[in-house]
Amino acid sequence: MSRKELGLKDVELKLISELMKNSRRSDRELAKAIGISQPTVSRVRVRLEKQGLIDYCAVPNLAKLGFEIIAVVLGKRNYQKHPGINTQKARDFAKRHSNIIFGASGIGLGYDRISVSFHRNYSDYAKFIQEIQTEWTGIMDVESFLINTKSEEIVQPLSFKHFADYLKKERAPE
């Protein structure tokens, strides 16, 4: 859904962007950064929260918390044997594995499912993959891409700060 379809105005987009950079700032600080009044910021923020356009969470430093691996797991459903898939089963699996931060259907590279999860070490990841393979045998084939959170080759840490700048600069066609 585009910004125009959502009815987002520049003020709302700027506020979302500023909150992505630091959601702990007061409405007064946000008003100063955006260049509008504090009551307007408060009113817009509450409206965006009620609409479900913003939610709040911290993005921790995974390596410092002891999570060495980010796993991107790609799944390919066996349409021959299982033309339909029980979405509730997938939701239940995700609920039992709170280390899964994202899961969805999609398309690309011959796969139609994806999940992103965090793991303390390779043994933790191996146990997780074993559970996936056990529960989804015959239904889905899986492959993984693993990221070492302590690698010197991480060129962009997991954060929304840079995306916030992109979001603020982006202009949807009017």
Task: Find the mean pLDDT for residues 28-48.
Answer: 95
Residue 137 — very low, low, confident or very high, per pLDDT cuts 50/70/90? confident
With 0-12 / 13-18 / 19 or more C-beta atoms within 10 angstroms meaning exposed / middle / buried, residue 15 is: buried
Amino acid identity of residue 90, one-letter, is A
- Architecture of the domain whose range is 69-148: 2-Layer Sandwich (3.30)
Task: Find the mean pLDDT for residues 49-65.
Answer: 92
With 0-12 / 13-18 / 19 or more C-beta atoms within 10 angstroms meaning exposed / middle / buried, residue 48 is: middle
pLDDT in tens, 9-20: 889 999 999 999
Q: Where are the domains of the chain?
A: 3-58+160-169, 69-148
Q: Reply yes or no on whether the pLDDT at 3 is more than 60.
A: no
Provide the percentage of residues in the chain whose pLDDT is more than 90.
67
State phi, psi for 131 to the nearest 5 degrees.
Answer: -65, -40
Q: Which two three-digit tokens encode residue 74?
A: 């790609």
Place of tokens 């899986």: 142
**Topology alike, domains 3-58+160-169 and 69-148:** no
Higher confidence at residue 112 or residue 77? Answer: 112
Task: Find the mean pLDDT for residues 106-121.
Answer: 95
CATH classification (class only), 3-58+160-169: mainly alpha
Place of tokens 């929260």: 49
Provide the 3-class DSSP secondary structure of residue 108.
strand
